Structure 1
Amino acid sequence: MTAKSKSRPGVAIPNLFLVGAAKCGTTAMASYLGQHPEIHFSNPKEPIFFGRDLQHAWRLPSLESYLALFEEGRDCRYLGEGTVWYLYSRTAAEEIKAFNPDAKILIMLRNPVDALYSLHGQFLFSGNESHANFEKALAAEPRRRQGRGIPRAAHFPSGLLYSEVVRYTSQVQRYLDVFGRDNVHIVVYDDFARDPQGVYRNVLEFLGVSTDHRPDYAVVNSARSIRSIALHRWLINPPVDIWNPGRWLPKGYLAHSLQWRAQHLRGRLYDLNVTQTKRAPLAPATKKRLKESIVGEVEDLSRLLDRDLSVWI
């Protein structure tokens, strides 16, 4: 059995969707699944094709470019992708169902407080967030909900509504309603961190593929911090597009050479400005306030999953 389209004979289409949530271990899971001989995972992991309500600057431009990501694995039983914002999207579940009714859905969830703090760090790194202080970023949400205070370099403004990102209960319910519980597998990050091999085996059993495979359980997507936020922002979004000098010159060797040198310099500066390090712990007062704000959400999610998640609060 391979992932072939009934409506598009000869075309390989994805049938495994790791839909989120953000900062819940999906990069590691995608890496492990992509090593399985029966599974092909897209590169990039997050093509951001579905979810018409997601205003994301990095969205793939066409169906052709999307399907091309899976051509290499056309003989695999599963073709997968891992756009974490599909869980956040209000429309992605229905869109995926219409695209492939037989798709399998994988969801990963994490303590909302930890997930939000980690997401803020990622957004700082990618240029989506301008407030280096987490508390200030949270306080900016009401203004940003009105379209104000959005960073100039933001590629995904909707993600800055932090409190909405971790409303997991309604998001998970949407996929259960659309695909049915038999086609949705949910992983709690606490289990994955404690026993990655056992959780991985459970996912393989859900997919019905060989459970004998042992992936490389190396650390994936480790924490990174920025030495200079000002330099980082300038590298991502300079006031003048100095990183594409070739656009101002006739096509030819000179334009190509200058373009390559500019991008090489940008990459070197980017790497020098990044360090692998653990982020400072979340301020106790902020952590306490956030925990109090998610009590109802965690209780609802516990009932939905039939699992006690009170340790999160």
Structure 2
Amino acid sequence: MLFSGCPNFLIPGAGKSGTTYLASILSQHPDIYIPSGKEPAYFSAWPERGNFKFGVHQYRKNFQEVSSETRIGEASTVYMYDPESPKLIREQLGDIPLIFILRNPVERIYSNYWQEIKAGKELPLFSEMIESGHPRFLEMLWVSRYGAHLERYFTYFSKENILVTFLDDLKDDPEAYVWKVLEFLQVSADVPDLGLYTRANDSGLPKSKLVARGLRNRRLLQTVRSLTPAWAYDYLGRTVRWARRVNEQSYVYPTIDAKSHRILLSELEADIRLTESILGCDLSSWRTTK
């Protein structure tokens, strides 16, 4: 055990697939503790995203307010695609329950692109980014290779401790989806309303790209967090999220163009089939061209 009150379950991803929403819902359950600051990312040394280098003392700050909760968790999407994360988690936390949320990988990449724009990043047009092999696109593509990532987790963790779910199921029936997760975590499903229809992330564009970049600068935020006393940790997280919302303006993203969709499918076809093989399910809807 890393420390008293350390996590006994994790939500490793995938990013842009409902992890923020699920973490928000579960945190309202009286028997579950999830820190308000998403993405502690301790079990990762991935460049600019992993926080393993900051040490367990820094990680422990996220769980200072744990009291009588029986389930303690956190959601860090970098754990999904960092090849070292499964080994680090298993070594330090043991064979704990893991919850994955998968989304159509083409849609995930497109949503990821607009998240970057929302964060004030300077990127080319989506179609240009794909066709040029832009480094950020290649990373987005890597994140969406679910089969490769799940293979690693099934190597380190028991099958019964891995719950793989789908964003479409969450959208179609939030109550049934959350009940399934609560059953997996072995906590009571007989709880008050958990705000199931409250969105955790809305689309939008930044009013100021400079401000947006500052509020999502991982290195800067991690430095500030390291200097923040434990009692103010939750307040810091709420303040940052409030500032992000204030700096956003509503915007409806355009749909992905057909050519970009076909290119992404050709890149992901083999991994989609690998994911089907690992999970024993039909993901043919993910292979439908526009």
TM range (shorter): 0.7 to 0.9
User: 1:69 corresponds to which residue?
Assistant: 62
The one-letter amino acid paired with 2:48 is H
For 1:299, give the aligned amino acid. Answer: R
| CA shift in 2, pair 1:58/1:297, >3 Å | closer
Q: 1:185 maps to what in 2?
A: 163
Q: How far 1:38 moved relative to its partner?
A: 0.7
Contact 1:141 1:161 in 2 (8 A): no
Name the amino acid aligned to 1:221.
Answer: N
| Unmatched segments (≥5 aa) in structure 1 | 145-156, 238-263
The C-alpha deviation readout for 1:154-175, integer Å capped at 9, x for no partner, is xxx6x85222111100101111
1:29-50 Cα deviation digits (max 9, x unpaired): 0011111111000121111111
CA–CA distance in structure 2, aligned partners of residues 209 and 234 of structure 1: 40
Which of 48, 55, 64 is equivalent to 2:47? 55
Structure 1 position 219 matched with structure 2 position 199: yes
- CA deviation after TM superposition for structure 1 residue 64, in Å: 1.3
Cα RMSD (Å): 2.4
How do 1:156-195 and structure 2 match up within 5 A? 161-195=139-173
Query: Which residue matches 2:80?
Result: 87
Question: In 1, distance between residues paired with 2:38 and 2:77?
Answer: 9
| Aligned with residue 294 of structure 1, among 252, 268, 279 | 268
Indicate the SS of the match to 1:72: coil
Q: Is the 8 A contact 2:49 2:78 kept in 1?
A: no
Q: Which has the higher contact order (CA 8 A, sep 6+)?
A: 2
2:283 equivalent in structure 1: 309
Maintained 8 Å contact 1:20/1:84: yes
Write the letter of the residue equivalent to 1:184.
Answer: I
Alpha-carbon separation, structure 1, partners of 2:26 and 2:245 = 28
Relative to 1, partners in 2 of residues 1:106 and 1:29: Cα closer, same or farther, differing over 3 Å? same
Structure 2 length as normaliser, TM-score?
0.81
Aligned pair count?
Answer: 259
Answering whether residue 27 of structure 2 is matched by residue 34 of structure 1, we say: yes
Q: Deviation of residue 90 (structure 1)?
A: 0.2
The whole-number CA distance in structure 2 between the counterparts of 1:79 and 1:272 is 31
Q: Does 1:232 align with 2:209?
A: yes
Structure 2 letter corresponding to 1:177 = T
Which residue, 6, 16, 29 being the options, matches 1:13?
6
Q: Residue in 1 aligned with 2:128?
A: 136
Secondary structure of the corresponding residue to residue 116 of structure 2? helix
1:138–1:162: 8 Å Cα contact kept in structure 2?
A: no
Return the alpha-carbon distance in structure 2 between the equivalents of residues 271 and 291 of structure 1. 33
Tell me the amino acid that sits aligned with residue 188 of structure 1.
F
**Separation (CA, whole Å) in 2 of partners of 1:235 and 1:18:** 26
Q: Which residue of 2 aligns with 1:98?
A: 91
Say whether the 8 Å CA contact 1:20–1:107 is kept in structure 2.
yes
The verdict on how the C-alpha distance between 1:202 and 1:190 changes in structure 2, with shifts beyond 3 A counting, is same
Report what 1:206 is aligned to. Answer: 184
Larger radius of gyration: 1
Paired with 1:12 and 1:301, the residues of 2 have a C-alpha distance of 34
TM-score, structure 1 length as denominator?
0.76
